[in-house]
Amino acid sequence: MHRLSRVPVITIAKVRGRARGGGNELALACDMTFASRENAIFGQFECGTGALPGAGGIQHLTRRLGRTRAMEAVAGADDFAADLAERYGWINRALPDAELDGFVERLAKRIDGFPPEGVQAAKRLINDLTPAEPAHIRSDAATFQALITLPETRERLDHLAHRGLQRAEEVERDLGKAVGEFRR
């Protein structure tokens, strides 16, 4: 995902559903993210299982949200509606669902109509100031790999899988709530 943020073209994520865990980290790796006000949900649920985001979530969210809001998002492991994600700086804009496609298409065509050298230079210089170092993301990934093998983490992940993680609508709809309800 780090390479995605470094490609010489502008990348835009359009989120109309749930972007949690790796899906959220993919959106964070893009240059811009726009979301459906009515339907988009963002989150990093991993701390609720005993792990942590391992593909850049901590790095990107801390840079975008600041320390305290990143702590809320990552350690709190809850879901964030598009309007709150926009207010926190997680995404560029939350738009009415009916306007999302048209807005993103107009923006992409506008950028595509500009001389590519200027757009590429702007992205390169902005990237010189903002993205995480690859070593930091690799460190997060190594920590994630270590945490995912811990017995309590496995127990929590197994519990969520048994409840239907990534299959059952009620678990996916309220994953932030589900990770907070685990009881031994």
Using alpha carbons, select from 19, 21, 20, 1 the residue that is nearest to residue 11.
1
Question: Which parts of the chain register pLDDT below 70?
Answer: 131, 166-171, 182-184
What's the number of domains the chain is made of? 1
CB 25 within 8 Å of CB 56 = yes
Classify residue 13: in a domain, yes or no.
yes
pLDDT of residue 3: 77
pLDDT of residue 67: 94
DSSP state of 139: H
Q: Which residues are catalytic?
A: 25, 46
Strands 12-15, 32-36: pairing is parallel
Report the C-alpha gap between 158 and 153 in whole angstroms: 8
Helix (H) or strand (E) holding 82: helix 82-88
Which residue type occupies 144?
F
pLDDT of residue 184: 64
**Residues 111-147: pLDDT tens digits?**
999 999 999 999 998 888 876 777 777 887 788 888 8
CATH code, domain carrying 53:
3.90.226.10
Could you tell me the pTM of the whole model?
0.84
CB 92 within 8 Å of CB 32 = yes
Classify residue 184: in a domain, yes or no.
no
Name the percent of the chain in helix, strand, coil, to the closest 5: 60, 10, 30
pLDDT of residue 168: 58
Classify residue 125: in a domain, yes or no.
no
Classify residue 124: in a domain, yes or no.
no
Classify residue 183: in a domain, yes or no.
no
Classify residue 41: in a domain, yes or no.
yes
Range of the domain at 55: 2-119+130-177
